[in-house]
Structure 1
């Protein structure tokens, strides 16, 4: 932040002081991307022209007054793409090679030979065709998997996904896939898209991976699907309620891998987020186009926009 401090008056604040700090401010950097304090302090944003959030998802700041304002919204897409893709490949391999069970047996001192599954040749559906979804697709293809995408509109011959199916036809296409990866942005259209109907159509041998937003999933329906054996496993990095409550059944369910919203958090990620903001601040200060401008009606950065 030193470079920015040399060009502008910078005010640092927590949630309680946000409204006071916002008065007269031209730009707001929401470094705490899990904070929901911005809507409550919005009345004080009397001069604000630009808001940048330190995450790819913008749902914590996507409230009606911001949508209707002239304030430009940018995000930090590009920082976590490769790291999340590595996570997704890692949990898929963990499922295929039964690594969680191997660790259990190791702790018990038991030698129990099993056969495992191949990853190559398995079919994966990546729901969400933004930069993170594309990084996941490339990573899974490199491991020999057959990958398709799912986005707002169907198309063929995509350079990363091959075929892209329309999100409106999710239930129709789910039965064809061994792994389903959720990485879609949270919008009114995607909220709760993975519900009882979706899980009921998946293969019983299929695994579900969520690295998008917890609200993409109806958690109660996922718990029921796991208990009734409708799907074979789930790897979850995001949840409707975070932190995940200690008494939540997902903690102890067999074939469920739980991680605390860390799939993208590599060593150095905090500095990388500030670097994205610093680059955009220099652009804003000199009148150049900003990177990662979010379409506030769609809730994400449209394809083809100047990226990170």
Structure 2
């Protein structure tokens, strides 16, 4: 962008405004809006910052986007804004790829160790004041398949390798000698490879090809007693099929940070299953994460104002930022 006019920026944020916006406010006309106010904020706006990245408000307000040229979402996943009108428009879409990689990788490593060392069982026994000696498992020497080979998947693979696990990836295309995964298998051929792993980690983006990829067939294909971790999107999983696999003992455990319906309904059986760890869509949300999201957006905003290439441009037909490897 060039010229002397102040750009107009709409920010979808609800009640909680993003922090550290003062530098942007000094050079742009910023309109903060909740879902109901978004159509008004979009009229005449040049750019949209979807800070409330779980909101579903953008498609319904899109009719008012009469001048929009750029949309940035404060998440790595872009599925909340991936609708036909945006996909077919000239509006550039960017995401917050890179902010959550290390934090989510640490979270996954923690879950893998928690299962192996039965921390949940120890906590239950402590609450019952019961002294019960048990044997636990080694993590080193076990295997993990990371389904999703973007930056978050790579960070997960590196940490799991660091504790002695054998790791492979599943992505859009098969390849060998990858620096982080070693072997990468094709996601289209996932069921054939699932039996070879003790832990399966789902971190794939949500697209029309990945929705419901972990269904009854996938869980049946997994090694008996395998564990499943989902830190990607809840809609990657057919929840009823996962519950059945856990109840029938085909899987020995699941750690779930994302769900088809959020918040997870109180009546969901997942809450009370002893072999399930539930968390509230928080695997990447460490202290300072909101500031980091705004810092990335501010850098992209400066690039956009100067006419320089933007970071994290999403291929709107793939549904994610293409990887260079």
Q: TM-score, normalised by structure 1?
A: 0.98
Partner of 1:277: 297
Partner of 2:207: 187
**Whole-angstrom distance in 2 between the partners of 1:292 and 1:104:** 44
Partner of 1:200: 220
Partner of 2:262: 242
Q: Which runs of 5+ in 2 are unaligned?
A: 1-20
Partner of 2:128: 108
The answer to whether 1:267 aligns with 2:265 is no
**Whole-angstrom distance in 1 between the partners of 2:130 and 2:73:** 48
Q: Deviations over 1:136-168 (max 9, x none)?
A: 000101111110000010000000000000001
**Whole-angstrom distance in 2 between the partners of 1:11 and 1:110:** 57
Question: 1:203 offset after TM fit, Å?
Answer: 1.4
Question: 1:304 offset after TM fit, Å?
Answer: 2.3
Match of 1:66 among 51, 61, 86: 86
Q: Deviations over 1:166-194 (max 9, x none)?
A: 00111100000000000000001100000
The answer to whether 1:171 aligns with 2:191 is yes
Partner of 1:295: 315
SS at match of 1:285: helix
Question: 1:272 offset after TM fit, Å?
Answer: 0.7
Question: 1:6 offset after TM fit, Å?
Answer: 1.4
Equivalent residue pairs, number: 305
The answer to whether 1:255 aligns with 2:275 is yes
**Whole-angstrom distance in 2 between the partners of 1:17 and 1:56:** 25
Partner of 1:24: 44
**Whole-angstrom distance in 2 between the partners of 1:65 and 1:123:** 42
SS at match of 2:26: helix
Partner of 2:56: 36
Match of 2:245 among 225, 248, 264: 225
The answer to whether 1:45 aligns with 2:65 is yes
SS at match of 2:31: coil
The answer to whether 1:86 aligns with 2:112 is no
Q: Deviations over 1:209-264 (max 9, x none)?
A: 00000000000000000010011000000000000000100000121000000000
**Whole-angstrom distance in 2 between the partners of 1:6 and 1:250:** 48
Q: Deviations over 1:84-121 (max 9, x none)?
A: 00000001000000110000001111111111110001
Match of 2:76 among 36, 39, 56: 56
SS at match of 1:172: helix
Q: For the aligned residues, what is the CA RMSD?
A: 0.7
SS at match of 1:156: strand
**Whole-angstrom distance in 2 between the partners of 1:204 and 1:96:** 16
Q: Which runs of 5+ in 1 are unaligned?
A: none
The answer to whether 1:216 aligns with 2:236 is yes
Q: Which runs of 4+ in 1 moved over 4 A?
A: none
**Whole-angstrom distance in 1 between the partners of 2:253 and 2:41:** 46
